[in-house]
A = this chain, B = another copy of it.
């Protein structure tokens, strides 16, 4: 796996120090640069046989057979040919004496320096540098520096635009005109069928010598040639500045290009502006990892590839599956964008996220045409989408074999979950950003019209009276035309629930808008009732006993196979077994049930819970073709493995995703960057290793650091403000503690308000007619209010508004109940321990997340025994963030390593460990696994006994 990799990684720099022609196209992909308006592959300025040079501009599509439309490779701005005494500089001839290519992620700049000896023995140093300006998206800049080392001779530099670009042979452009300008030229081209006009202008500046300039206008290949004699050790620099506009940007792209070019400054100033723009972008989007330089670079690299692909200005385009870096999937847009890529932008560049989602609004009419074509109502989104939103998935995979059977691609007809996945993305964009205006103006219409589609797509089974969705492809594309795929069915149910919620919210907040949409979409009360019936009666293949979910009808009856039997292999199980046979086996291309569980993780909705996650992980993970199935899979497995504490497996999956392109793990990086995998990387770091979850008020980290990681630092934008995270590993404090301070959690340690929580939940459950009891309550320990409520209501259907209301109702009951607390509510042994510690000279603090802590302490009557109270108002980030305990220690004036924390909940133990403190876990060992010492209660505990236990622990852990 690692053999191909001769890269050197620094913090921000990808360095290749030898040229391997076999890796040519792969490296062109890897060294792609861009600015969110266009992407340019890392092809050589002088060309190379078999090179796939490409500049792809967002939205510039043109017709093509079989796949309908594709991103048209635009005229190539790179050509810079250097001719030394008649010998053209080219790496397939002559001798390469030195070679270095580096991509500077921090500035978005690609550089190459080569020492080359020509076939007749003349040696030069050549340096190239290029960038697509992030400061001004229409500006492209190149510089070429030449030093003749051992000769004096005639040098000719041809700086061109190649008006014959090609999409693997197909040239989408008709040259309309071209002409000369001062020190340069311009070109006017038009796409063949979509008739998009493109204007480019270029000029060069030669410094270090007097050169004769001549413009040559070979049709479609305008060049400016600089010719000069150079002396040994003389250095000459050629700057080439190019501007580009299309008729999608301005009405007169040719004159716009010329005008902008005429106003541009020199290379250095353009370079500085670009650098500044990149610094701002990284300020929001960077992730710093310490202790694992390869992972640290790989994460940045993947984020870089996403950042150059997300459009800052254009809301009518989205990010293709292979970004703007290659020809794979023809620039078509999949669910990859919404599910895999979008979260990175939502949380770090929300304006770009908004553009990406608004693309789906502008393509709604295409989705409506597709629904109409298939005989459904509403909007049925294209599995592959381009300009109009009409379906552009090819019908056939046409092998160029005279007699092979053509393979029908059913995704266009049957992989319909896209129409619930886009609403999912909209919902979370809105939940994260609180962008009500956008929801009103764009998102709601999508959510409603896709819900209308679903209401026409489901079928009522007259025997079972369940709603079914038959003949679909779930996310696992190894199983085609299955019935009641749980991923699809549950996503539809979820989607209809949210559609109801949004309907309620908009009805109260924007009644005019709702009236408008009701009319436009024929969104009747009858329709909404239909949604409720579907929510209630849709078939979900869930075994509540085991938590196991069946992927689709009959999945468990399929033949099983042992994936290990097929190792080692270099291709997918489908490629080995064939489509038919794969379809008949329990082998997954990518997570399907597990994907559903992952998507429900963000708000801990059904079926996301520990039992279900474990049961389904154990069933499906070993049955997933994780190496050569889908590139979308490893990052998701990484997150769920991290969730399950399987840190090693999580890290393996994570690196599999992170290196997919840098190490060409799947052998198809030449087709372009794996955009979804890159987005999954961000999610794996944030949701997997940092373990970010969301309380009602903030994102909270529950870190699961891979081995070696010493720091993880990033920012999230959430509900109107930036949240900084700077996480450290949970490490063992020094073995001989000189404990000077004790920090007690309150609830479950000194007192037990869990009884009051229980009573409050019980009251709510009784009012709602939901079965609930003390035993059921045990499952709620350490779980957020929302997550607790979701567990209680289980499969029952409530709107988001109803859920909000229930959470508030329960809290009111709880606050009422704790009014009754007295001294008697202290747990056994608490008072005597507090007194004993105080006598022993230790400082004592309370570290409780509760905003009611002061009230409870007062009622308990222990306020005099405490030095510090840290409560829910003290810090922003709740446990498992270490902030609260660090705050308490600071207030006590004691170093974290000299504090011991008494905690009863996993999140609290994680927080204490994260703060670098000693931890005593109170209660059942199975949920306190990481605490240094575990005690059943405080009864009879003294400072002396505690010291002895720490001594024992240190001895045991010395080995």
Contact = CB atoms under 8 A, between A and B. Distances in A.
A172 interface: yes
Interface string A389-409: 011100110101011001000
Nearest to A162: B219
Contact of A390 (B217, B398, B402): B402
Nearest to A46: B219
Interface in A135-187: 158, 160, 162, 164, 166, 169-172, 174, 176, 180
Contacts of A66: 65-66, 398
A370 B401 CA distance: 12
A160 to B, nearest CB: 6
A218 B216 contact: yes
A50 interface: yes
Nearest to A405: B395
Contacts of A169: 170-172, 192
A68 interface: yes
Given A169-B192, A218-B223, A219-B81, A49 B398 contact: no
Interface in A358-415: 369-370, 373, 390-392, 395-396, 398, 400, 402-403, 406
Contacts of A162: 219-220
A649 interface: no
A430 interface: no
Given A66-B65, A164-B171, A176-B49, A391 B403 contact: yes
Nearest to A374: B403
Interface string A42-65: 000001011000000000000101
Contact of A79 (B170, B219, B369): B219
A11 B370 CA distance: 58
Nearest to A390: B402
A225 interface: yes
Interface residues of A, number: 46
Contact of A373 (B396, B400, B403): B403
Contact of A65 (B49, B164, B398): B398
Given A79-B219, A219-B81, A400 B171 contact: no
B68 A65 contact: no
A214 to B, nearest CB: 8
A877 to B, nearest CB: 49
A436 to B, nearest CB: 34
A221 interface: yes
Given A164-B171, A164-B220, A68 B396 contact: no
Contacts of A402: 68, 369-370, 373, 390-392
Nearest to A386: B402
A24 B499 CA distance: 56
Nearest to A166: B171
A174 B50 contact: yes
A397 B391 CA distance: 18
A160 B158 CA distance: 17
A218 to B, nearest CB: 4
Contacts of A400: 63, 65, 68
Contact of A223 (B86, B171, B174, B216): B216
Interface centre among A66, A160, A390 (most CB of B within 10 A): A66
A852 B398 CA distance: 69
B220 A225 contact: no
Interface string A196-223: 0000000000000000000011111101
Nearest to A164: B164
Nearest to A372: B403
A216 B216 contact: yes
Contacts of A176: 49
Contacts of A83: 217
Interface string A506-529: 000000000000000000000000
B158 A218 contact: yes
A220 B219 contact: no
A426 to B, nearest CB: 24
Contacts of A63: 400
Most chain B beta-carbon contacts within 10 A, residue among A219, A395, A403: A219
Contact of A218 (B170, B218, B369, B406): B218
Contacts of A390: 402-403
A62 to B, nearest CB: 9
A71 to B, nearest CB: 15
Contact of A396 (B180, B219, B396): B396
A784 to B, nearest CB: 45
A83 B179 CA distance: 12
Contacts of A370: 402-403
A221 B65 CA distance: 28
A131 to B, nearest CB: 23
A98 B83 CA distance: 44
A171 B171 contact: yes
Given A391-B402, A402-B390, A218 B219 contact: no
Given A160-B219, A169-B172, A216-B216, 5 more contacts: A49-B176, A216-B218, A218-B218, A218-B223, A396-B406
Interface of A: 47, 49-50, 63, 65-66, 68, 79, 81, 83, 86, 88, 158, 160, 162, 164, 166, 169-172, 174, 176, 180, 192, 216-221, 223, 225, 369-370, 373, 390-392, 395-396, 398, 400, 402-403, 406
17 contacts: A50-B174, A63-B400, A83-B217, A86-B180, A158-B216, A158-B217, A162-B220, A164-B221, A170-B171, A218-B223, A221-B221, A369-B402, A370-B402, A373-B402, A395-B398, A395-B406, A396-B406
The 7 closest A-B CB pairs, nearest first, are A164-B164, A390-B402, A373-B403, A221-B221, A218-B221, A216-B216, A218-B218
